[in-house]
Amino acid sequence: MKNYADRLINAIEKKGNPCIVGLDPRIDQMPDFVQHKYKNQSISDRIIGAISYFHRIIINTIADIVPSVKPQIAFYEQYGLPGMKAFENTLVYAKEKGLITIVDAKRNDIGSTAQAYSNAFLGITNIFSKKVPIYDVDCITVSPFLGEDTLIPFVKDCSEYGKGIFVLVKTSNPGSGDVQDLKISESGEEIYISLAKLVKKLGKNLIGKKGYSSIGAVVGATYPKEAELLRELMANNIFLVPGYGAQGATGKDIVNCFNPDNLGAVVNASRSITYNYGPNTISETDFVKNIEKNIQEMIADVNGALDKKISFL
Amino acid sequence: MKNYADRLINAIEKKGNPCIVGLDPRIDQMPDFVQHKYKNQSISDRIIGAISYFHRIIINTIADIVPSVKPQIAFYEQYGLPGMKAFENTLVYAKEKGLITIVDAKRNDIGSTAQAYSNAFLGITNIFSKKVPIYDVDCITVSPFLGEDTLIPFVKDCSEYGKGIFVLVKTSNPGSGDVQDLKISESGEEIYISLAKLVKKLGKNLIGKKGYSSIGAVVGATYPKEAELLRELMANNIFLVPGYGAQGATGKDIVNCFNPDNLGAVVNASRSITYNYGPNTISETDFVKNIEKNIQEMIADVNGALDKKISFL
């Protein structure tokens, strides 16, 4: 079973960039040609059809360009069971096209319940005495709020099944500091610093040949100062960096998330790649061209910033 | 739209106890008569059949006895799409039987993504220009780790749709202190105390006629000292209390979660009610009797402890 971090770093090196595309199904914001494609079918089939088709086009367009996609499960879950069927379709297709699948789920719970989440996404579920992989993705995001013991089931499955997790350390939203920036009396350190040390500890036995661990951290592009500190603390952990694009961060904001080797992070953009296409009467051909343009602009911005990183440090 | 807290308190008063039953599908631990019932069907239909039937029996047995059920979504999710179909079936049946539905999902994410989770469980999703309720449950559990701004979409939907949330404040697991007990430099208070103040603030405009807010807190029965402090701080917020039964807490451990009116909390038990039945060759009739016995023992223990609460304070 190949180490997840090695697989991700290989994909980044092969594609020549660390950009990943977030898949957030918002049907009402999809182009008309997608919304109308299944209009004579049942509501349930229209939902499955529209979401699956939309992501099929996107995946076809970006599969040779970027290393990975990040489906955000909340946007699928809001469409109920048809949404979850479309989630499964999207994952199957992304894997078929050779993309690394990172599910943004921010899951966690206590002991045996954390194990159930890990079964769903990373490991296997025992069903009628058979070991069955369920969504079987490469990686998910998890929350550390319930403590170290609740992360262990995920870490064990990462080891057993060659999978990865990104632990929330410093998220990209305006209020992320409410809990994450609180300074702890005993150590004088912020919570996010103490979580970084936990991530480092949890990941130390899962470092692959490329020098990176399968246990990574979510570090928002919107907090470059904190990212600089975190980069030093977690030299061997990969960062999943949200906040680029629609949330306001640009190339110069993400450079602190990378190591001197220009590795160690993947930068996600969702809306700015997939919903940034002008009027919704756009044709399928123009929509594809637009996705290509958006992702190439992002890659130029991110790789450009990394090339002259020295000037930002 | 009736206030959620009023609906929950009414149900507690009507049933005469604050006990709720957790529904955690673990097919391999279900009695043989459930596991074999659909054995000639496809794996997918066997999963849907077994989970739905198991919970149908439980719901039939407890619907007139307790105010609410708490399906733990992780255990459904580990069975993939058939698991989620069984989740939907279980919810539909619980609502039909008049039970308040509290989904233990511990969801959260940033801004528009938090809204998507809230759409899925509490509010509505816009689908092809129609406003569609999805799982439409009474209440879910949410994590506060990402900050106050990420709780607002849920609070708004609680107000608009007469729903509730329980925010994780002090969870029942051994490692809950890793983050939640950290003392903050500035205030000298633990994180769980500062979260309690946040819950109080978020809930102040959603207090119903019974004096309780629709914004509640998760407070583990395994931490009775912390519960005492939290009870004082959040006089008008209902506690969802896990940790009773299989996790080790008993009646005397939960009294601190209640107000002097013997209201203000619901106590959950899952495994000790639904999987505590002896050999798995048990008959359906005996299984039902066993569930009845387990829940009546819990009610006697919890109500007994509340009646003589004065001696524990």
Structure confidence by residue, pLDDT tens digits, A76-111: 999 999 999 999 999 999 999 999 999 999 999 998
Give the mean pLDDT of chain A.
96
**Could you tell me which residues come within 8 angstroms of residue A71 by beta carbon, excluding any fewer than 6 positions away?**
A22, A23, A55, A87, A90, A91, A94, A101, A103, A104
Mean pLDDT of A200-226: 97
Determine contact: A208 vs chain B, CB below 8 A: no
What is the CATH number that goes with domain A4-305?
Answer: 3.20.20.70
Residues in chain B with CB shorter than 8 Å from the CB of A79 are 125, 127, 134
Give the pLDDT score at A313.
39
pLDDT of residue A1: 66
- Nearest-angstrom CA–CA distance, A246 and A165: 24
Read off the pLDDT band of A311 (50, 70, 90). very low
Interface of A with B in 32-71 (CB under 8 A): 35, 43, 46-47
CA-to-CA dists, residue B302 to A115, B17, B18, B296, angstroms: 29, 8, 8, 10
Give the pLDDT of residue A246.
Answer: 86
Q: Provide the pLDDT for residue B247.
A: 87
Residue B204 pLDDT more than 60? yes
Query: How close is the nearest chain B Cα to the Cα of A119, in Å?
Result: 6
pLDDT of residue B237: 98
To the nearest whole angstrom, how far is the Cα of B42 from the nearest Cα of chain A? 12
Q: For residue A268, what are the β-bridge partners?
A: A20
Instruction: Quote the percentage of chain B above a pLDDT of 90.
Output: 96
Q: Does A222 touch chain B if contact means CB atoms closer than 8 Å?
A: no
Rounded CA-CA distance B119/B125 in Å is 5
* Long-range contacts of the stretch A259-264 (C-beta < 8 A, 24+): A259/A231, A259/A235, A262/A306, A262/A309, A263/A9, A263/A12, A263/A18, A263/A210, A263/A212, A264/A212, A264/A231, A264/A235, A264/A237, A264/A238, A264/A239
What is the arithmetic mean of pLDDT over B117-141?
Answer: 97
B287: nearest Cα among B30, B89, B21, B64:
B30
CB contact under 8 A, B78 and A180: no
pLDDT-based confidence at A312, cuts 50/70/90? very low
ipTM rounded to 2 decimals: 0.97
Instruction: Name which of B78, B88, B183 is nearest A185 (Cβ-Cβ).
Output: B183
| pLDDT confidence of residue A247 | 87
Rounded to a whole number of angstroms, the distance from the CA of B278 to the nearest CA of chain A is 19
Q: Please tell me if residue B248 touches chain A, with a CB cutoff of 8 Å.
A: no
User: Which residue from B minimizes the CA distance to A132?
Assistant: B79
Res A198 pLDDT > 50? yes
For residue B308, what pLDDT is reported?
75
Interval A191-208 mean pLDDT? 98
Tell me which CATH code domain B4-312 carries: 3.20.20.70
Catalytic residue among A106, A156, A252, A289: A106
Contact between A119 and A111 (Cβ < 8 Å): no
Q: Which helix (H) or strand (E) holds A214?
A: strand A213-219
Instruction: State pLDDT tens for residues B39-79.
Output: 999 999 999 999 999 999 999 999 999 999 999 999 999 99
Tokens of A232: 């030093």
pLDDT tens per residue across span A273-308: 999 999 999 999 999 999 999 999 999 999 999 987
Average pLDDT of chain B, as a whole number:
96
Does A85 contact B81 at a Cβ distance shorter than 8 Å?
A: yes
Q: Which residues of A touch B134 (CB under 8 A)?
A: 77-80
Interface contact flag, A185 B180, Cβ < 8 Å: no
Distance from CA of A224 to the nearest CA of B (A): 18
Band (pLDDT 50/70/90 cuts) for residue B309 is: low
Query: Could you give the C-alpha distances from B7 to A153, A302, B20, B164, B249, in angstroms and in order?
Result: 37, 52, 14, 10, 27
Residue B30 clears pLDDT 50, i.e. is over it:
yes
Distance of CA B26 to the CA centre of its chain: 17
pLDDT tens track for A214-270: 999 999 999 999 999 999 999 999 999 999 998 899 999 999 999 999 999 999 999
Q: Is the dihedral of CA B286, B291, B295, B297 positive or negative?
A: positive
Sequence-ordered list of residues with C-beta below 8 angstroms from that of B131, at least 6 positions apart, any chain: B124, B125
Contacts of B126 in chain A (CB under 8 A): 27-28
Contact of A90 with A55, CB cutoff 8 Å: yes
Inter-axis angle of helices A80-96 and B80-96, to 10 degrees?
Answer: 170
Residue A197 is a catalytic residue: no
